Amino acid sequence: MKLKHLVLSVVLTAGFGQPVMAADTAKPATEATREANAAVLKELPFNDKQAFEDSKKGFIAPLENNGVVNNAKGDIVWDLPAFDFLSGNKPAPDTVNPSLWRQAQIMEHYTGLFKVTDHIYQVRGLDISNITFIEAPEGVIVMDPLVSAEVAKAGLDLYRKHRGNKPVVAVIHSHSHIDHYGGVKGVVSQEDIDAGKVKIYAPAGFTEAALNENVIGGNRQTRLSGYQYSQLVEPGPTGSVTSGLGLINSRGTITFAVPTNLITEPFQKETIAGLDFEFMLAPDTEAPAEMFFYIPEYKALSTAEDAVHTQHNVYSLRGAKVRSAYNWAMYLKLANDRWGDKAEVLYAPHHWPIWGKERISEHLTKQSAAYKYINDQSIRLANSGYDMVEAAEMIKLPEALQSNWGLRGYYGTTNHNVKAAIDKQFGWFNGNPATLHPLPRVEAARKYVDYMGGADAIVKKAQADYDKGNYRWVMQVLMQVVYADPSNMKARNLMADASEQLGYQTEAGTWRGWYMSAAKDLREGVKPMQVAVFASPDTVSAMPLELFFDYLSIRLNGPKAEGKTIKMNLDLPDTKDKYLLVVQYGVLQYHKDQQADDADVSLTMDRSTLNEIIGGKLKVEQGITDGTIKLDGDAKKFEEFVGLLDTFDPWYQVVMPIGTK
């Protein structure tokens, strides 16, 4: 009997366990790095302490338990003390860009419960994001309940300790990213939602966007998020220095609640718990589904994550779809036009608020201008024939924006945002046919190494460039040696050293994560670590069937499926859903409301049973034997289908050839 490896999985999103990189593998900063970081101190207005003042304004109480949160099993899911290296007023070490150090210090120093304005409170420092409590006549409205339920509950507990046990009657998800919804069940229960005691507000398209990003691209995003958020390396002066957007992601239980109330109109007024809100949709900006809102009575504006204290990502390097810098600028301008002369406070689910009409309007104007500049100048240069790498090298924000702390590239950078803007408008091809059909990485690398006189000659020259501080080029050229021969440890170690120095120099927490993680993989090889895969039952039950089928489709191994035809009926009696799934011509297609008389196999089960299967709580055989799944026809055909599905390697190589051991 032939082996059929029958494994399917859906990675909704994932977090990482404790990092395993030993800090003592890190090298000290080189002279070139020290000089580069010293230059930053002269370049930027470090005597401007406004952000420090804003961050501590309204402080009420510190985080409980010194900022450590455990789950029910006692595992630590949030560990603020891991960032103690940022405490105090220590100057940036040689191994950290002073601007990133400043940003990280602000985020580490000012944590706890804060009053934003009358009736609006925030808990900061419990996750990468903030949880906000808006007091309304009929109860409390929670905005963006963090990544996981345990930390969200800790935030609510802290708020209630100082503001009383008012009931949570609504949750607002400002957008479809997990750090803005994953902790929802830490502040409300599904029972209360079902009973109508709690309403969940979200922008149109929220559920689809939330699940699509993490399901279809889940494996890649999981792998690359480990790089982006420095989750493979320890926090510290030679490791992770926050993401720039927030400290890091919590590692608790991720939950999901299907919204009960969607904001669907461009501008929409709602009264929530007796409090009037003005919503404005801002689709395809920082997230596919995003919205701003203003509370007239409190003169409080939130532009969600579109105007925080960093330049954000027009393209998130972890692998999200490229966003529209044009939309981003436009919606911030509209928000400023609409509320800029009214709002007394601007608060966000990351970083710290801004108070006062003038400062708010200036902030929104500059933020809008930055994304507009990136969009317009990128396209201008592309229209002049420059490719994205050239344009990214050429474009710098105007000085008034460049020197603005809130637009520094801690999370997104002008460089990679320019590339994204060009990609959004023009796609990947630069027009030169030499780049149209190049040799793949390994084949090209072997040629380069051969043409350049062999690996030893390249490494020798690369060492000379390393000694001069030319780390970008060292990485670029050594990539060829490593791809030609990943067992060349001399090349790998030198490339790792260059990557590390770039990590020490970069202002972006995300880029630092990339460089430090690459250095780790190059030096040590890929070392799998525990990965928490979050597919809570409520997340699974919210997954549209079509999304599940789409996920199966991208798992189908086309070459293996070539020449095979498999027809499968799926009947879900409780939801009256019927689908015909057909494998043919190497693809999986699904047909709603269809069943084939000549299907190879027919599966009948309730949606709840399918949810249990997707959620890993029930095996197909178990469902068949206990009678919750009825399988008619040729069971072997179903096995054959499953055998055509790839199982993705969650630890695939990022900086070395695929398959390198």
Partner 1 sequence: MRKPSQLCTPVALAGLLCLGVAPAALGCGFHPAMEVQLESMYPGSLSVAVALRTAADNGLIDAAALEAPGTGTALYSDSVRRLQEFRNALAASPAAANLPASFSLGYVESHLWARYSQSDGEVRVDVHTDGPAEGEAVVLTGEPVLTAVLAGRLSVDRALAEGMILIDGEEKEKTAIRHALIVTSMANKISRR
The residue ranges that bind partner 1 (CB under 8 A) are 1-12, 14, 17, 219, 222, 253, 528-536, 540, 613-627, 631, 635-636, 638-639, 642, 647-651
Helix 414-426 × helix 357-383 angle, to 10°: 60
Q: How is the beta sheet containing 587-592 ordered, strand by strand?
A: 587-592, 577-584, 566-572, 601-605, 629-633
Q: Which is nearer to partner 1, 69 or 104 (CB)?
A: 69
Residue 131's CB is within 10 A of a number of other CB atoms, namely 29
User: Shortest CA distance to 568 belongs to which of 605, 598, 545?
Assistant: 598
Give, in order, the Cα–Cα distances in Å from 287 to each of 225, 256, 324, 469, 543. Answer: 16, 17, 9, 37, 19
User: Shortest CA distance to 340 belongs to which of 363, 370, 360, 355?
Assistant: 360
- Residues 6 or more apart in contact with residue 582 via CB below 8 angstroms: 565, 566, 567, 568, 588, 589, 590, 591, 596
- Residues 6 or more apart in contact with residue 490 via CB below 8 angstroms: 459
Q: Which is nearer to partner 1, 8 or 444 (CB)?
A: 8
Q: Which is nearer to partner 1, 465 or 521 (CB)?
A: 521
Question: What is the closest distance, in whole angstroms, from the C-beta atom of residue 530 to partner 1 in the complex?
Answer: 6
DSSP H helices, 140-297, are: 149-163, 190-194, 206-216, 218-228
Pairing, β 601-605 against β 76-79 = unpaired
Question: What is the closest distance, in whole angstroms, from the C-beta atom of residue 5 to partner 1 in the complex?
Answer: 5
Question: What is the closest distance, in whole angstroms, from the C-beta atom of residue 233 to partner 1 in the complex?
Answer: 17
Give, in order, the Cα–Cα distances in Å from 194 to each of 210, 219, 556. Answer: 21, 32, 37
Q: Which is nearer to partner 1, 426 or 651 (CB)?
A: 651
Q: Which is nearer to partner 1, 293 or 638 (CB)?
A: 638
Q: Which is nearer to partner 1, 3 or 434 (CB)?
A: 3
Question: What is the closest distance, in whole angstroms, from the C-beta atom of residue 614 to partner 1 in the complex?
Answer: 5
Q: Which is nearer to partner 1, 20 or 60 (CB)?
A: 20
Q: Which is nearer to partner 1, 253 or 501 (CB)?
A: 253
Q: Which is nearer to partner 1, 110 or 534 (CB)?
A: 534
Q: Distance between terminal CA atoms of the chain?
A: 30
| Residue found under tokens 């029930």 | 618
For residues 152 and 383, what is the distance between their CA atoms, to the nearest angstrom?
47
Question: What is the closest distance, in whole angstroms, from the C-beta atom of residue 4 to partner 1 in the complex?
Answer: 5
141 in helix, strand or coil? strand
